[in-house]
Amino acid sequence: MCLINVIQEYLEVEMRNNQYFVNEYEKYLIGINYKKNTVRFNVYTIKKFISLCMIKDIKDVKEDDIKRFVSKMVMIKSAHKKDYSPQTINRMVSCLKHFFVYLYRNELILTNPFEDLVLNLRYIERTRGILSCEEINRFLNSIEVESDYGKRNRALFELMYSSGLRISEVINLNLEDVDLKERVLVVRNGKGGKDRYVPFSKVSESFLRLYIENCRKEKKLIDEKALFIGQRRRLKKSGIRVIFIKILKECGIDRKDITVHSLRHTAATHLLEGGADVRYVQELLGHEDIETTVRYTHVLMEHLKREYKSVHPRENKYYEEVNEEYLEELNKLKEERIKRKKINNKKNKRKRVI
């Protein structure tokens, strides 16, 4: 009897098709409280992988199938006739990796194709869109605050830049989540289902107060708890994106790499440029892994390299030929160095006297 049960169990496992594995993984993700959109994206990715690479049986997937998937995703277009962004492809690979880890740990497959797989995905990484200090000031200052919508938009984007909030986090904020006196807000059920407290700036506080005290009282709201509202309901992601793009165009910032999420990248980068500790920025942004935050330091290094190449005489155009123009610039640099040296000497003398 025991032998018959073992044989039956074996046959049942063999009969399990790809859809069975997808369904089980979907139940697992829902069970560990993944958000609906995240679950939907994971399922979409796995199905895309199966169809694109013509996988007959998940149990037979090899390293080459994963590599083939990546190369095909780089070449094909989405349903909207657009290229898949590098960020999306990286995210899809991550989804597949977690899927196969789940199958392997639950003994649904014998081998994990990701176990010894080395993928060089750097060539498809997208540069993070970062606004300069001048650009972010121009963007925020261009938002008029005469109308109710203008006050709301200024408060919204000031808060996103001030606290590095995700678009999903800012639309889910309720009035009770914001403490104007202490200048602290609570992000509820953020990424990974975690809550966190986030500070915001004095400037952000002033525009939030202006919006809350002047733009909500006389309106009959369907969602009275929501902090940021449209006509009567909670503001949606699509609405924020439309407003953001419109303001960008109005203030003359024409860059394809800039999205609403760039406000979060910009906040992190400017904090690190100002000398903030990486651990603080990690807590502010709600990153579980500090490596995610450390990526922003690579952006700072790229900025430093660009600045170096633009001013160093051996890196810029004057290195091409030693002529009068080159020598003139070199003398200017020498004079500037002498001036700074004199200023530093004066400061050191004052310190000694004190």
What pTM was estimated for this model as a whole? 0.60
Cα(312)–Cα(310) distance, rounded to whole angstroms? Answer: 6
Instruction: Return the biggest CA–CA distance within the chain.
Output: 97
pLDDT at 318: 45
Q: Regarding predicted confidence, which is higher, 240 or 232?
A: 240
- CB 176, CB 228: distance < 8 Å: no
pLDDT > 70: what percent of the chain? 76
The owner of tokens 């999903």 is: 168
Mind listing the domains of the chain with CATH numbers? 17-124 (1.10.150.130), 133-299 (1.10.443.10)
Comparing CA positions, the residue from 122, 168, 166 lying closest to residue 262 is: 166
List C-alpha distances in Å: 308 to 235, 247, 315, 328: 43, 32, 7, 19
Position 139 scores a pLDDT of: 95
pLDDT, residue 15, reads 43
Over 60: is that where the pLDDT of 350 sits? no
Q: What is the pLDDT of residues 66-98, one digit of tens each?
A: 988 988 888 888 777 777 877 788 889 989 999
Looking at the predicted structure, is the pLDDT value of residue 125 above 70?
no
Question: Which tens digits make up the pLDDT trace of 296-327?
Answer: 666 556 555 555 556 555 555 544 555 666 66
Of 204, 207, 98, nearest to 150 (Cα)? 207
One-letter-per-residue 3-state SS of the chain: CHHHHHHHHHHHHHHCCHHHHHHHHHHHHHHCCCCHHHHHHHHHHHHHHHHHCCCCCHHHCCHHHHHHHHHHHHHCECCCCCECCHHHHHHHHHHHHHHHHHHHHCCCCCCCCCCCCCCCCHHHCCCCCCCCHHHHHHHHHCCCCCCHHHHHHHHHHHHHHHHCCCHHHHHCCEHHHEECCCCEEEECCCHHHCCEEEECCHHHHHHHHHHHHHCCCCCCCCCCCECCECCCCECCHHHHHHHHHHHHHHCCCCCCCCCCCHHHHHHHHHHHHCCCCHHHHHHHHCCCCHHHHHHHHHHHHHHHHHHHHHHCCCCCHHHCCCCHHHHHHHHHHHHHHHHHHHHHHHHHHHHHHC
* Cα pseudo-dihedral 348, 350, 351, 354, rounded to 10: 160
Under 8 Å between Cβ of 276 and 296: no
| CA 90 – CA 123 distance, rounded (Å) | 11
Radius of gyration of the chain (CA): 27
256 vs 168: CA distance, rounded Å = 22
Dihedral over alpha carbons 309, 313, 315, 317 (to 10 degrees): 100
Q: How many CB atoms lie within 10 A of CB 67?
A: 15
Token code pair at residue 231: 């006509």
Band of pLDDT at residue 271, cut at 50, 70 and 90: confident
Cα of first residue to Cα of last residue in the chain, in angstroms, is 95
d(CA 101, CA 112): 7
Please list the active-site residues.
Answer: 166, 191, 261, 264, 287, 296
Mean pLDDT across the stretch 190-219? 84
